[in-house]
Amino acid sequence: MAEKKTLKTVSPHLHEEGQTIERAMKDVLIALVPAAIAALIVYGMNVVYIFAVSMITAALSEIVMRKIFKRKVTLGDMSAMVTAVLFAFLLPPTTPLWVVAIGCFISVAIGKELFGGLGKNIFNPALFGRVAIMLSPLWIYTAKFPKPFFWKSVGFFTPISVGIDETVAGRVVYQTLAGNPVNVVTSATPLSLLKSGKMLTNVVTGPTPVGATWVTSSGKPSLGSLFLGTQAGSIGEISILALLIGAIYLLYKRTIDWRIPAGMIGMFFFIMLVTWNHPLYQLFSGGLVLGAFYMATDWTTSPVSKRAKWIYAFGIGLFVALIRLVSPLPEGVAIAILHWNVLTLLLDRYIAEPKFGQVKKSWFNKLPSYAKTAPAQEKS
């Protein structure tokens, strides 16, 4: 009995049950289910095909990259699946499947694995892939959004994607997998409608009751339809209700930190209010809610300390508002978050968190004097 082998490890000897990377990633996937269902209802099976291609590409990309870099394949941690679903969420529902595959490869292989894998990446991988497509010649395939419930005219299960119209330069058409053109009505997103210069007052004071129809008399979606998800937009961003259900689950499970969505949405709301834009309409359209709860909160690419988290969150909210209000772009959540992903490292390094009982509270981290005078000790 006494000769039995026992483990000799460092304290602590207990570990919180269920506190693993896999569990957290699975929680994110669970939280994304309502939004995926909303997308399925509004856009039909097209979104499922995109999910499938994205997930398969993500898995293959991770396996290939890990083999190349001779790292252990860790598909089991589910992080590639989260990236795959989030990347798909950022695409229009009619993105050609080969574009999905390229974008997802960029997300996982370059955005994550090339930086060193989960935990080492600087950018949110899904946003990285999405913006890479946006800045490439492939952008044309992801620039048009079909009208909600377009599947009613072409069939729920029919794969529809965007193709280039060979007859008119720069024009795109909708087509089936076989390349036959189909008639699908394109719709402007609420934000591009706003960008086109029409004032918002119609939405606020318009005669249409909330949620009654999908557009108000002025031709813009009503607040209610935005909230439920009958709006033109990327797969995952349309239903605010579905996103909030998932967000509540993640907040309850403490997978994400409430400070980031609160700071980001708070700052955005405030700016929209003082610039006399309708804050709720702005909040419910575009990718702000998706970005605030599922993208900006990404563990690896957001700051760790509480003060830095607030600065990061306010910064993203400010950037999104500025891009929407004063830049030529209709939407800027992805770009704003990627900007602050970079600043995350600086915030973590320099913004100080006061220690317990610290009397002289400083806002900035300072190296102890011996480390400064003996730079040889510091390898960085």
Give the span between the Cα atoms of 38 and 30, in whole angstroms. Answer: 14
Closest to other proteins by CB, 11 vs 183, is 11
CA distances from 268 to 288, 302, 314, 332 (A): 9, 18, 8, 12
Residues 156-185 binding other proteins (CB under 8 A) are none
Residues 277-336 binding other proteins (CB under 8 A) are 299-306, 309
Site string for other proteins, 253-282 (x = CB under 8 A): ----x-------------------------
Q: Does 231 bind other proteins (CB under 8 A)?
A: no
User: How far does Cα 19 stand from its chain's mean position?
Assistant: 23
Q: Which region among 91-99, 155-163, 209-217, 346-354 touches other proteins (by CB under 8 A)?
A: 346-354
Name the residue type at position 88.
A
DSSP state of 34: H
Q: Does 359 bind other proteins (CB under 8 A)?
A: yes
Do 86 and 337 touch, CB atoms closer than 8 A? no
Give the span between the Cα atoms of 155 and 5, in whole angstroms. Answer: 65
Q: Which of 39, 53, 110, 118 is in the footprint of other proteins by CB under 8 A? A: 118
What does the DSSP assignment read for 311-370? HHHHHHHHHHHHHHHHSS-S--HHHHHHHHHHHHHHHHHHB--PPTT-SS--SB----HH
Q: Which of 179, 355, 361, 376 is in the footprint of other proteins by CB under 8 A? A: 355
66-104 b/e (C-beta count within 10 Å ≥ 16 → b): beeeeeeeeeebbbbbbbbbbbbbbbbbbbbbebbbbbb
Work out how close the CB of 54 gets to other proteins at its nearest, in angstroms, rounded to a whole number: 22
User: Which residues fall within 8 angstroms of residue 259, CB to CB, at 6 or more apart?
Assistant: 306, 309, 310, 313
Work out how close the CB of 8 gets to other proteins at its nearest, in angstroms, rounded to a whole number: 5
Closest to other proteins by CB, 117 vs 159, is 117
Q: Six-digit token pair at 48?
A: 């499922």
Residue 38: Cβ within 10 Å count: 23
Q: Does 85 bind other proteins (CB under 8 A)?
A: no
Q: Does 76 bind other proteins (CB under 8 A)?
A: no
Q: Which of 21, 97, 325, 343 is in the footprint of other proteins by CB under 8 A? A: 21
Closest to other proteins by CB, 10 vs 178, is 10
Closest to other proteins by CB, 69 vs 157, is 69
Q: Which of 76, 116, 209, 219 is in the footprint of other proteins by CB under 8 A? A: 116
Q: Which of 275, 327, 362, 365 is in the footprint of other proteins by CB under 8 A? A: 365
Q: Does 11 bind other proteins (CB under 8 A)?
A: yes
Cis check: omega of the bond before 190, within 30 degrees of 0: no
Binding site for other proteins (CB under 8 A): 1-4, 6-17, 19-21, 23-24, 77, 116-120, 257, 299-306, 309, 348, 353-359, 365-368, 370-372, 374, 377-380
